[in-house]
Each structure stands twice: as C-alpha cells, then as structure tokens.
Amino acid sequence: MSSTAKTLSATPADLDFALELATIANKISLPRFKAADLKVTTKPDRTYVTDADKAVEAAIRAHIEKHRPADVFFGEETGGDAAATTAGVRRWILDPIDGTANFLRGVPNWATLIALEIDGEAQLGVCAMPALDTTWWALAGHGAYKQVGITQPQRIHVSAVSELADASLSFQSIQQWEEAGKLDSLLSLRRQVWRDRAYGDAWSYMALAEGLLDLVGEFDIKSYDVAAIIPIVNEAGGKFSDLDGNPSAWSGSSMASNGLLHEQFLAAVRGVA
C-alpha cells in the first residue's frame, strides 16, 4: 500500500453527507414503523426483511451513486462491493434497518447504520434510531456524539470501570452464544460481572459509547451490523475488536468494551472451551 493511499481519511464533509443519508432513511423508515400494511418476507437465511428495509437501501444507494460516484457501496439487502481491503477504496456500508425483528414487532430498538470504510478501516459511523428520535455519530479523530431531537449534539464517552466485578455486560441473545459454542463462556462471564442484560442490536453499543454499559459481545455478525459502530465506540474512548483482537468488521464476532476492560473481556470469553 502506498503512503499516499494510507493518508486517505474521511472528512467532515463525508460526515455531513452521512447525516444527510440518515435523514433520508428516517423519512422512509419511521412512517413504516407499526404500519398496518407493512410487508414482511423471509430471506434464504431465514431472517426477516420488510418493504422498509428495501426502500431505505434503494434510496441510500441511489443517493450515494448520484453524489459520490467514485465511492463503492455494500448493503445488507442488495450487496455490492464486498472486496477485501483495497488501497484507496472508499466503501459505504449500510444496514438499512438493524433490528428488523424489533421493527416488525413494534419494538423501537432498531436503527439505520451507515459507515464509510477507507482502505478497509471504518472511519465514519452514523447510527440513527428515529423511533427514539436519537442519532449517534463519529468521525475518526473528531470524537463521538449523540443528538436527541433538535437539541444540541453532546459529546459522549465510555465509562471508567476497570474491574470486571463492577462491569455491566450486554449481549445479543443466549441462542447466539450457544450456536457459537460460547454459552459456557457467557455463563462464566456472567458470574464475574456486576450485571448482565440482553439489550441487543445497535443500542447496546450506543449505551457502551455513552458509558451506560461496559461490555458488549456478539457472534455471527456481518460487516453491515458493526461497521458504523466501530468508529463510534473507538471515538468515545472504547475499543472494538473480534474475538481474536483484530479491529475488523468482517470477522463474524464482535467484542466491544470501554477499553480498560478489553483484554479481561477477551480472555474471559476465550477462557471456556
């Protein structure tokens, strides 16, 4: 990789564009939330998809292709360029509705996740949760922020908890950990921490970035599930990695912490076969 390619980075203009994309998404998804005529189908992997998922992705993809024609796109519903790290490539990664099962059941814990990855590094992330009237975002080197409604954005930071015994843990589901062969690890970890709850989906990571939680772990995740989350967690002072400690959105596991607990967290999850 050349030194020139290595210096490429996301800009405040990219963040403005990403927030514009989130506004487009919110205008489509929120009116379909709890809609009586919501159309729901099942994908080949047995996960749900709604007409809102498809409409959001189509609108976002079209906007990117029109206004950022040199960039590439990868989305949950329509795919796109999923090539591994390539020097100089700017890739927008989208989950149009993260938490579709919540969305179709009327649970407000769902989000549109928008990331910009450059040279394989997620440098910008936006998490928009319109049912909660809240948006979180981060740009590498510029901090992480939360905005509720039209109030002024507030900078957010992870907690200062440094002992597992004082930590609050969130996970996606018991089933997910069991299918990953890590249920025993989860139960062991539960005995070591102060509190455990399965808040699930993107909100767990946003709560981590705000200092409300200290540890979040998931398995069987896709790049579009976490690419936008990585810069938000990191810029809030936390740490994100896969179970092997790699800072990748493409590895299938997701371990996020306040940073101080990260090695203890990974060791605890790895520690039980």
pLDDT in tens, 159-168: 999 999 999 9
Structural domain including 126 reads 12-155
Of 247, 157, 266, which Cα lies nearest the Cα of 208? 157
Report DSSP letters for 218-259, one per residue: EES--HHHHTTHHHHHHHTT-EEE-TTS---SSSSEEEEE-S
Question: Mean of the per-residue pLDDT values for the chain?
Answer: 91
In the annotated binding site for Mg(2+), the residues are 76, 95, 97-98, 225
Query: How many domains is the chain built from?
Result: 2
Q: Using CA atoms, how far apart are residues 210 and 65, in angstroms rounded to an integer?
A: 33
**Global confidence as pTM:** 0.92
Report whether pLDDT(106) > 80: yes
pLDDT in tens, 23-65: 999 999 999 898 888 888 886 666 778 889 999 999 999 999 9
The pLDDT score that the predictor gives to residue 6 is 47
The pLDDT score that the predictor gives to residue 194 is 97
User: Can you say whether the dihedral through the CA atoms of 8, 243, 227, 235 is positive or negative?
Assistant: negative
User: Can you say whether the dihedral through the CA atoms of 228, 99, 21, 128 is positive or negative?
Assistant: negative
Residues 24 and 143 in one domain: yes
Out of 121, 155, 189, a domain closes at 155
The pLDDT score that the predictor gives to residue 30 is 95
In the annotated binding site, the residues are 76, 95, 97-98, 225
20 occurs within a structural domain: yes
pLDDT in tens, 74-84: 998 887 766 54
Q: Using CA atoms, how far apart are residues 106 and 16, in angstroms rounded to an integer?
A: 30
pLDDT in tens, 175-214: 999 998 999 999 999 999 999 999 988 999 999 999 999 9
Residues 41 and 67 in one domain: yes
Q: Which two tokens stand for residue 223?
A: 């790049």
Residues 34 and 124 in one domain: yes
1 occurs within a structural domain: no
Q: Using CA atoms, how far apart are residues 202 and 145, in angstroms rounded to an integer?
A: 15
